[in-house]
Amino acid sequence: MNERILAGRYRLQEVIGGTSDLFLAHDESLRRKVAVKRLPGSVTDSNRHHWEQEIAKAAGLHHPHLLGVYDVVVESEGIYLITEDLDGDTLSRWMRLQGALPVERAIDIARQLASAIVQAEKHKIVEISIDPSTVLINQDGFLKVIGYGPLLSGRAQTERDLQKTIGVLLFEMLTGKAYSHLSPMQQVVADVQQALQQSGSEHSWLIERTERIVMRALGNMDQGSFATIHELHRDLKAVHHALGQQVERPTQQAESTSAVGRMKGSMVEAAQEGIEKVAQLRHLEFAKRVAEKSAPKRFSLLPYIGGLVVVVLVIAGLWWSLGDETSTASNDGKGTSAHQFTMPSLIGKTEQEALQVLADNGYPEGKIQWVYSAKDDAETKGKIYRQSVDPGKSVASQEGMIILTINSAADAVKPGEGQGKPSDQGANKPVAEGEVPDLRGMSQQDAEQLILKLGYHYKFYISKGDTPSGTVYSQMPEAGAKAAQGADVTFYVSQ
């Protein structure tokens, strides 16, 4: 094609992807490659204001998984968007070449997509599509969504469509099979379970959580679909974060250790310099005594003071160089020291047995989150069948929180008994100091955050209730009851 320059700086070089509205160009001012997209010919004076608003929203976005918009050029024949140039393949083609993916990789890709959608919605961009043919991915598995706002070509997806697309992608990434909307849900569940069991993941809790995410995203009503894309993103992010803590923590610890090492190295160098200075002082003192041995001796404190300072430096340097940072106690602000211990296996233990084991290891009860979810398994009835921290992993007693799931039904409180209607004010309802808040009608996550914010401990049961899936339908103590900080609050979430 004949080269053309837009706005005196963007030199169009070639057409991309065989379309006539997408070009590769060179930014003459900043000397970089860019992509240029010409908006549809339907842009007129009457709808130009709408396009300008959408472009402004897209240009204000800065997110790693959304195509970045650099500039806009308005010419007589149309509007051109200047965007970042991307290297990579379409997600659909990349998936065909990869086949079935490890469950950790599939979760990461789904999280990237959900993250891009959530970020776009926060900037009030509601027109978005994550069709695999318009999502780019590089060789490292890093995604870019290019179909949103003014960059969208074709029909925008509804929020339910977006959730289902992520569910379909997860199914295909895990199984390596094409998803069919005509397949019975029982067959879909069986395919996912088989793929997860064959994945060889070292995390026992990951298989069940991943299966639940896939089924809910696909709209399996037995599992309860996600209320919003934000809820789906939270679940994916939580799993990815749990995996990242276990995978990336050695790197972070190494960085921390290297920083401590640099500090120690500086102290050791200072100590070594101090030792050399002591030797120099002694040598000078000896030479002085030889030269003036016939002269009357004068007493001076200066060498002794200098020697004392150097000795202090030497001792500090040796302490830093020989000390083991893993044995240094930290404090959680309440006078309790943290220490490392190896997480035991709590599977098959009762709640009291688990509490005793963790207490023997110095793990505080306030750092334990209990989840009660009924499961049709007589062997695990009333016992723990899942723990968030794998056995054998080294953890700090004051670090993070562990989640223990018990096979138990929510039989302590009947739904709605003495509770009235669920609150429609949620976390915005004012709560008097020392009073238990009204959690009914709130989402599980909002209820957890509010309870922790007020200084209480909590447990929750998951069972059939009379409120929408994922929301609180009953609680103990009831709203308004007096309770000191650190007290237990139990709530019940609809399945």
Q: What is the DSSP string of 42-108?
A: T--TTTHHHHHHHHHHHHT---TTBPPEEEEEEETTEEEEEEE----EEHHHHHHHH-S--HHHHHH
3-state secondary structure of 147: coil
Residue among 155, 168, 166, 147 at smallest CA distance from 230: 166
Residue 188 structure tokens: 């879909």
Confidence grade of residue 173 (pLDDT, cut at 50, 70, 90): very high
Residue 150 structure tokens: 């003014």
pLDDT at 117: 92
Cα-flanking dihedrals φ and ψ of residue 182, to 5°?
Answer: -90, -10
Residue 467 · residue 441 · CB < 8 Å = yes
Q: How far apart are CA 441 and CA 68, in angstroms?
A: 38
- The two most distant CA atoms of the chain are separated, in Å, by 110
pLDDT at 265: 45
Q: How far apart are CA 111 and CA 166, in angstroms?
A: 9
Residue among 270, 271, 265, 268 at smallest CA distance from 314: 271
Residue 434 · residue 484 · CB < 8 Å = yes
Q: How far apart are CA 480 and CA 488, in angstroms?
A: 14
pLDDT at 132: 85
Neighbours of 58 (CB within 10 A): 23
pTM of the model: 0.51
**DSSP character at residue 435:** B
Residue 459 pairs in a beta bridge with 370, 490
**DSSP character at residue 354:** H
Residue among 290, 216, 244 at smallest CA distance from 105: 244
Residue among 254, 64, 37 at smallest CA distance from 152: 37
Average model confidence (pLDDT) across the chain: 75
3-state secondary structure of 241: helix
The separation between CA 17 and the C-alpha centre of its own chain, rounded to angstroms, equals 34
Cα-flanking dihedrals φ and ψ of residue 37, to 5°?
Answer: -115, 125
Q: How far apart are CA 197 and CA 203, in angstroms?
A: 11
Confidence grade of residue 362 (pLDDT, cut at 50, 70, 90): confident
**DSSP character at residue 422:** P
- Is residue 253 scored above 50 in pLDDT? no
For tokens 């009924």, the residue is: 374
DSSP H or E segment with residue 265: helix 229-291
The separation between CA 202 and the C-alpha centre of its own chain, rounded to angstroms, equals 20
Average pLDDT over residues 469-490: 86
Confidence grade of residue 161 (pLDDT, cut at 50, 70, 90): very high
- Is residue 337 scored above 80 in pLDDT? no
Higher pLDDT, 56 or 216: 216
The separation between CA 259 and the C-alpha centre of its own chain, rounded to angstroms, equals 24
pLDDT tens column, 92-108: 899 999 899 999 999 99
Residue 472 · residue 493 · CB < 8 Å = yes
DSSP H or E segment with residue 368: strand 368-373
Residues in the chain: 495
